[in-house]
Structure 1
């Protein structure tokens, strides 16, 4: 259980600051994460990795010579925002292009893809390789849906070593793709992890039992077995991995493999060595030659008690990169050449100047006051329900929804207050809130709320008072943006299950001539009913998908929080006595 923290919502930021203070000769702080504090070869490819915090040494601990050039670091178990990824990638860029690499999770894909598009629009050659090593999270037929766990390291290291060797962006991308295709992992857990400020772990495993197939975000395993002996665990892990050989490898006998026996947070090194004794013997019996094995904590899940095993099937090129030297705060291999420290001027992380707010029309400024009241109400309802949202999310997901929504709503409210004080119209105020929410919350929910608020802002404008029709059009645009961005449909057990009935009901009510207050209240009731009904659905998307049956009987956290939010706004509109109509 985590005992040492201040404000749980500030934990990740305080952790990063302390990490940089302890390792300033290798990393420096930039907005959104860390980059190398040493000079890299001009015009070389920058390998930028990232994901949620709570996985140390991943991701910041892997930044340094021979490994990553930068790491975007999100909140605990939540993807970094697109703005954070863009900031880190911009700071890390050496002029030879940027390769983004990260575990295959919905929020990470959304945010890293947004950042990639922005970089490309600015003329930066940016590529992406997602890591999909976890064989327990999808079948071989759907391996593109698999998540990334400890196999992250093999892909990151191969790509970075290729960059150090002077490879072009095309070849660095090729190497990363090949490394991912030849990496397979599986993990187990004996206990769940407990996030700072939480009273209970994200999930529990009965005494004497072991969850097989867990992820690195506190996701429950796919099945449970009795806890075996150390040798029995090695038998299970090796057996599962040798049962699925990568494409192009006909048989295990005669192959060379890199091996990672990874501790998830609370399993001690001594225990890992006992397990590895049997792992090494089994691999030798199978005719494999082990190359530079790694035993220790490489990708953790906060304080989870668990272990994962990774096999990295090598060819000559990949073996060269696996053996290549590296020197980072948490990972060292061989001997790297001395690197020059960047000077203070080079290490300066430029801070964007505050945007100038053009005053809205008087009518739009008046509406902005109501919009600010609505955002304040959203913040209040999220603060009140954050623990419950985390509990719901933890049933089959990673339990970060409450904290992420708190961070997002707090940032949105602060940005909205600032914009309103500067005379912003309602569009500018909502755009400010959208960007702040997406950047601060990270994760899937942060991206989606950023999309929604921006879409709504675009329809209401800064020059006139919003009408029931313009607000309904904005909500419809938000729904379109969400479904286009996240690809979810009704029935997938996501926030979309509440958004669609809300949107349809609002449009129908407005079409009959209802004012905004009455129409919104009716639509909010429809969203609440739909959110409640998600308890009867099995998830078909996101981190909960591999644990679908575990979520039966529990509503979707995103749908539930959406319903809470629109109901809180209905109260504000009613109190305003329809002044926006």
Structure 2
């Protein structure tokens, strides 16, 4: 259990701050994460990695010569926002383009993809590569759906070494893709992990049992068996990976492989060495020659008692990149040349953005903005009240971070809206700034989707005139369409969409009958509540809960439930005559 923390919602920020303070020789902070402390090499490809906090040394600990040029760091177990990724990439980019690479999780794919689009619009050449090494998370026929776990390190290392050689972006990307295609991982656990501030672990394993096929976000295993001995654990890990050889690997005899035996947080190094002793024997018996093995904590999950094995089947191209020197805070190999000194521009912290002038607004829209602020205050209070419940629901088949993410997002949105209203903003601008703040601070899939919801409603309201019920209903309908488009979810997938679409439909129908907005919203909130409760009987078809679908039966979707709570909280502000 993680016991040393202050405010759980601030844990990721404070951990990153302390990491930078301890490793200034290697990294410097930038908005959204860290980049190398050394001067950028003109024309060199920038390899930017990233993901949620809670996995150290992934991802910030892998920034340095021969490895990553920057890392975007999200909240605990939540992807960094698109803005964070873009900011880190801009700070790391040196004229040779950018490779964005990360574990294959829905939020990361969404945010890194958005950042890539934004960077391309600014003239930066960008490639995107999700790592897909976890054999337990999808079949070989659907390998593109697999999660990225400790195999991240093999892909990042190959990409970083290729960039260090001065290879062009297309070639760096090709080699990283080759490494990904030839990397396989499998993990087991004796216990789940506990997020900072949580009273219970995300999942539990009965005493004397071993969970098979877990993810690095504490996703429950795919099955269980009796706890094996260290040798039997090694046999399970090796046997699973040798049973699925990547395309192009014809048998094991004579093959060369990079081997990573990874501790997930609570397994001590001596235990890992006991397991690795048998791993090495088994691979040797299979005719595999091990190249520069890594044994230790490389991609962790807080206090999870677990271990994973990764095999990257090397080629003549990949091997020298795997063995090339590297010097990062948490990963060092060989000897690297002293880097060039950073320029003053490199060393200067990013200047705070000047406060932009707000679009003009009339008195009617300013009054509407004050009501928006009241609604966001109610949202914040509701999320605070239910934060533990949301985390518990999310942990049934997911990673348990929904409550923390919603709290960070709702607080940021309310603070941004309060600032906007104080500066005389209209309703649209207030919601637009709140949307950007929610997406940026919350990260993860839900952060991006709530950014879409607030932004869509704001666009429909405008900054002039008194918003009509029809405009509000139109904005909510646009929000539902935007969420479906961005999240690729449909009604029945057991996501936020299952409550949002009924809410939007009911609101539009009630407004069309001429009902006042408060009355129409009340009707729609009831529809959202009923729809969210009904998700308990659905099996998830999207997101991290998908591989553990059966575990979520009887429990509503966390995103749908939080949306229903929020619609009811907003309804109470609409009915409040004292809000001007």
Write the distance in 2 (CA, Å) between the matches of 1:350 and 1:124.
21
Q: Which residue of the partner structure matches residue 64 of structure 2?
A: 64
Note the 1:262-281 alignment, pairs <5 A: 262-281=262-281
Q: Which residue of the partner structure matches residue 139 of structure 2?
A: 139
Note the 1:385-396 alignment, pairs <5 A: 385-396=386-397
Q: Which residue of the partner structure matches residue 314 of structure 2?
A: 314
- What secondary structure sits across from 1:398 in the alignment? coil
Q: Which residue of the partner structure matches residue 531 of structure 1?
A: 532
Moved over 6 A (4+): none
Q: Which residue of the partner structure matches residue 566 of structure 1?
A: 567
Question: Normalised by the size of structure 1, how large is the TM-score?
Answer: 0.99
CA contact (8 A) 2:374 2:579 kept: no
Note the 1:249-288 alignment, pairs <5 A: 249-288=249-288
Compute the displacement of 1:359 (Å): 3.7
Write the distance in 1 (CA, Å) between the matches of 2:74 and 2:509.
39
Write the distance in 2 (CA, Å) between the matches of 1:455 and 1:368.
15
Write the distance in 1 (CA, Å) between the matches of 2:351 and 2:180.
34
CA contact (8 A) 2:62 2:331 kept: yes
Q: Which residue of the partner structure matches residue 200 of structure 1?
A: 200
Write the distance in 2 (CA, Å) between the matches of 1:166 and 1:552.
51
Q: Which residue of the partner structure matches residue 176 of structure 1?
A: 176
Write the distance in 2 (CA, Å) between the matches of 1:245 and 1:352.
50
- What secondary structure sits across from 1:346 in the alignment? helix
CA contact (8 A) 1:358 1:423 kept: no
Q: Which residue of the partner structure matches residue 443 of structure 1?
A: 444
Note the 1:515-530 alignment, pairs <5 A: 515-530=516-531
Describe the superposition over 1:108-134 as per-residue Cα deviations: whole angstroms up to 9, x where unpaired.
Answer: 111111111110000000110100000
- What secondary structure sits across from 1:345 in the alignment? helix
1:421 aligns with 2:422: yes
Write the distance in 1 (CA, Å) between the matches of 2:422 and 2:110.
32
Q: Which residue of the partner structure matches residue 365 of structure 2?
A: 364
CA contact (8 A) 1:517 1:578 kept: no
Q: Which residue of the partner structure matches residue 226 of structure 2?
A: 226
Compute the displacement of 1:577 (Å): 8.1
Write the distance in 1 (CA, Å) between the matches of 2:358 and 2:11.
32
Describe the superposition over 1:356-383 as per-residue Cα deviations: whole angstroms up to 9, x where unpaired.
Answer: 2234111100101111000000000000
- What secondary structure sits across from 1:191 in the alignment? coil
Note the 1:46-61 alignment, pairs <5 A: 46-61=46-61
Compute the displacement of 1:344 (Å): 3.8
Describe the superposition over 1:30-51 as per-residue Cα deviations: whole angstroms up to 9, x where unpaired.
Answer: 0000000012321010000000
Describe the superposition over 1:520-572 as per-residue Cα deviations: whole angstroms up to 9, x where unpaired.
Answer: 11000000000000000110010000100111100000000000000000111
Compute the displacement of 1:343 (Å): 3.8
* Length, aligned pairs only: 579
Q: Which residue of the partner structure matches residue 500 of structure 1?
A: 501
Write the distance in 1 (CA, Å) between the matches of 2:437 and 2:40.
32
CA contact (8 A) 1:368 1:425 kept: yes
Compute the displacement of 1:351 (Å): 2.3
Unaligned runs of 5+ in 1: none
Describe the superposition over 1:170-206 as per-residue Cα deviations: whole angstroms up to 9, x where unpaired.
Answer: 1111011111000000101111111111111111100
Write the distance in 2 (CA, Å) between the matches of 1:387 and 1:413.
20
Q: Which residue of the partner structure matches residue 95 of structure 2?
A: 95
Compute the displacement of 1:395 (Å): 0.5
Q: Which residue of the partner structure matches residue 345 of structure 2?
A: 345
Write the distance in 2 (CA, Å) between the matches of 1:423 and 1:289.
68
Q: Which residue of the partner structure matches residue 74 of structure 2?
A: 74
Describe the superposition over 1:44-77 as per-residue Cα deviations: whole angstroms up to 9, x where unpaired.
Answer: 1000000000000000000000000000000110
Compute the displacement of 1:341 (Å): 3.0
- What secondary structure sits across from 1:113 in the alignment? helix
Q: Which residue of the partner structure matches residue 403 of structure 1?
A: 404
Describe the superposition over 1:298-332 as per-residue Cα deviations: whole angstroms up to 9, x where unpaired.
Answer: 00001111000000000011001000000000000
Note the 1:1-150 alignment, pairs <5 A: 1-150=1-150
CA contact (8 A) 2:371 2:579 kept: no
CA contact (8 A) 1:502 1:527 kept: yes
Q: Residues 497 and 577 from structure 1, CA distance in 2 versus in 1: closer, same or farther, beyond 3 angstroms?
A: farther
CA contact (8 A) 2:72 2:84 kept: yes
Write the distance in 2 (CA, Å) between the matches of 1:576 and 1:281.
75
1:187 aligns with 2:187: yes
Q: Which residue of the partner structure matches residue 377 of structure 2?
A: 376
CA contact (8 A) 1:516 1:578 kept: no
Q: Which residue of the partner structure matches residue 295 of structure 2?
A: 295
1:488 aligns with 2:467: no
